[in-house]
Every structure is written in structure tokens, then in C-alpha cells.
Amino acid sequence: MNCWNDVLTERDKAVFLGSGFGKRMGFGSRPVVLVVDVNINFIGDKPEPILESVKKWRHSCGEEGWNAVQQTRKLLAAAKAKRIPVIYSTGAEPRKDGFDAGRWADKNSRNGEDNLNHTDNGNEIPNFIAPQLEDIVIKKLKPSPFFGTMLAAFLTDLQADSLLVCGTTTSGCVRAAVIDAFSYNYKVSVVEECTFDRGQTSHKISLFDMNEKYADVVTLAETIQFISNLESGLFDERMPSLKKI
């Protein structure tokens, strides 16, 4: 049973089934792992209940984020074993004067806290899933890691045909990444256990909506099995730093 079944009405289930949505597109043959915004801003600096974590880290998803990150470590280990490229996104360090906040400042009453209250950089990716030398890190100011960045160009250079997406938030930056990747005609798989959101309902309904129209929502187990069956070194020619020593 999918995690979103308990938030759908019987009418909605019937409508989407009758409309033909939700067809499985399948994995591609040259996948790249995209880790969206798994940083201190979104999980906090320690595992704790979300209502505690958001007192300091206004974006935090709390313990659910930490749980998903532990699953993400398994995904990354499988990708590294097959030398599959991993691309991370995280926020660009904001200007002290807040000029680059854009409309973010209009939608959150605590926007000014990041520069006032934090001694640590909330956009830092935690050490236990930190990018390695061969990985690519995209710095961004907007929800989608494609918007105003080199991500599409990097994927073209890698000759990727698909993305394995994880990270946060499911309803925000993950969804934005998935829709843009879909729009570029990449096959997209969203690894369910490796995504998280501060809102439980928005997490479930976003997974449902992406699965119906833009991506396959897949389990970690089937994703790892898929990766394990790939030929090693698919990207060595395009990304020499992935060559096995």
C-alpha cells in the first residue's frame, strides 16, 4: 500500500485510475543521483522532534529528516560502488543585506533569522553524507536545482538519461526538481524512503502527484537492486574522477 492512500478520497482514486495516470516509466540506463537540499537548514544540527528543531532552524523537518538521511546513506553507498555520479544541491550562502532573498522574504515571517541567529552555515551538507571530491555541488537560490544553474549542462555532458532523486522538501524543492527534469525529458525516479518534508500531508500528496504525472516513486530496495545490476564504470569516460584506482 502506498503511503498516500490514507489521504486520498475514493473519488480521487477513481478519477486518476480512470484517467490513465500513474503508468510506470521505468528506470533509465544512465542514471545520476540527485540529492536535493539535504543540509543543516532542513534537518537541524541534531536529531530532535520537529517542533523543537524549528525553534532554531525554521526550515527543519526534524527527526523525519534525520531518518531519511540514514536511508540516503545506503543509496549513496550503492551509487558509489557502481561509480554512478552524484550531484548535490544546496542553498547559496545568502547576502547579509537580504537582497537576494527575493520572494522568499515575502512568504516567511522568520526570514531574517538566518543571518541574525546562526553561527553555523545552514546550507552546509552534513559530514555523514558530505560530497566527495568526484561529486558535483549545485548552489541555488530558488526551489529547483535547475533554475539559474549549470545542472542541465552537467547532465548533458554526462550523457545521463535519468535521475534518481532524493532529499527535501518533497512538496517544494524535490517536486520542483522533478518537474524540471521531466520537462527536460529525463526519466525520473523518486526514492520514497530518502525524501522528507516538514508537512506529513504535503509529503504524501506530493509523492502521489509526482507518481501520477512526472516520475516513478520507487522504494530504496528496488533502487539499490537496479543500481547493482548496472555495468560498473558507465560514466568513467565522461567523468574521469570516477575511474576505479
Asked whether residue 52 is assigned to any structural domain, the reply reads yes
- For residue 76, the model assigns a pLDDT of 98
% of the chain beyond a pLDDT of 90: 81
Domain membership of residue 18 (yes or no) is no
> Cα separation of 96 and 138, whole Å?
21
CA–CA dist 136, 4 (Å, integer): 32
Instruction: Please answer whether residues 3 and 192 qualify as being in contact, where contact means their C-beta atoms are separated by less than 8 angstroms.
Output: yes
Q: What's the Cα-to-Cα distance from 34 to each of 38, 51, 111, 229, 231, rounded to whole Å?
A: 11, 28, 27, 19, 19
Where does the pLDDT of residue 77 fall: very low under 50, low under 70, confident under 90, or very high at 90 and above?
A: very high
* Integer Cα distance of 93 and 90 in angstroms: 9
- Rounded to two decimals, the pTM is 0.93
Structural domain range at position 135: 26-235
Q: What is the pLDDT of residues 198-219, one digit of tens each?
A: 999 999 999 999 999 999 999 9
**Residue 11 is assigned to a structural domain of this protein:** no
The predicted pLDDT at position 145 comes to 98
Confidence of residue 243 (pLDDT cuts 50, 70, 90): low
- Beta-ladder partners of 205: none
Q: Judge whether 77 lies within some domain.
A: yes
Domain assignment present for 4: no
Is 17 part of a structural domain of the chain?
no
CA 235, CA 74: separation in Å to the nearest integer?
20
| pLDDT tens-digit series, residues 173-202 | 999 999 999 999 999 999 999 999 999 999
Mean pLDDT of 167-176: 98
User: Looking at the DSSP assignment, which residues form a beta bridge with residue 216?
Assistant: 189
Residue 6 lies in a domain: no
- The reply to whether 181 falls in a domain is yes
How many domains is the chain partitioned into structurally? Answer: 1
**pLDDT band (50, 70, 90) for residue 231:** very high
pLDDT at 245 over 70: no
Of 15-24, 70-79, 223-232, 236-245, give the lowest mean pLDDT range: 236-245
Structure confidence by residue, pLDDT tens digits, 83-137: 999 999 999 877 777 777 777 777 787 877 766 555 568 899 999 999 999 999 9
CATH number for the domain including 224?
A: 3.40.50.850
